[in-house]
Amino acid sequence: MDNCIFCKIVKKEIPSDILYEDDEIMAFKDVNPMTPVHVLVIPKKHIPNLLEVTKEDERVIGKIHSVINKLAIESGIDKTGFRVVTNCGEDSGQEVKHLHFHILGGRKLGSKV
């Protein structure tokens, strides 16, 4: 998508602090972190949200979760706990219409939604 900020990050048109990259997935630090560790993990393929995931996308979604585990271990939040959040649609607060998973950790998180 031409106007998608995450697609521009994938194409390296916008600089970001990339923590992981392969042919299908990219992970980078959030520019406005809500926690000491705040990483976004995205498929490089433009998928607007979870409702748009197809049968063909299932493998890469599973791989994304393996990358999340790897990044949690590398950042040390695997020992104390972390949260993974995916917003889907306007009411959820999804601001960028490109599927992404937030890894949040590095401090005690409350139980509020």
What pLDDT digit, counting tens, does each position of 54-63 carry? 999 999 999 9
Q: What is the pLDDT of residues 3-62, one digit of tens each?
A: 999 999 999 999 999 999 999 999 999 999 999 999 999 999 999 999 999 999 999 999
- Region 5-105: CATH code: 3.30.428.10
Rounded to 10 degrees, the C-alpha dihedral 50/62/23/26 comes to: 60
Domain boundaries, the chain: 5-105
Can you give the pLDDT at residue 24?
A: 98
100 an active-site residue? yes
- The catalytic residue among 38, 65, 100, 102 is 100
- Provide the whole-model pTM: 0.94
- For Cα atoms 55, 56, 60, give the angle at the middle one, nearest 5 degrees: 105
What is the CA 69 to chain-centroid distance, rounded?
Answer: 12
Give the pLDDT mean for 92-100: 94
Buried b (16+ CB within 10 A) or exposed e, 89-98: eeeeebebbb
Q: At a CB cut-off of 8 Å and minimum separation 6, what does 34 contact?
A: 104
Alpha-carbon distance of 8 to 18, in angstroms, equals 13
pLDDT exceeds 80 at position 1: no
Alpha-carbon distance of 110 to 94, in angstroms, equals 20
Q: What is the pLDDT of residues 59-93, one digit of tens each?
A: 999 999 999 999 999 999 999 999 999 999 999 99
Q: Which two tokens stand for residue 56?
A: 């063909």
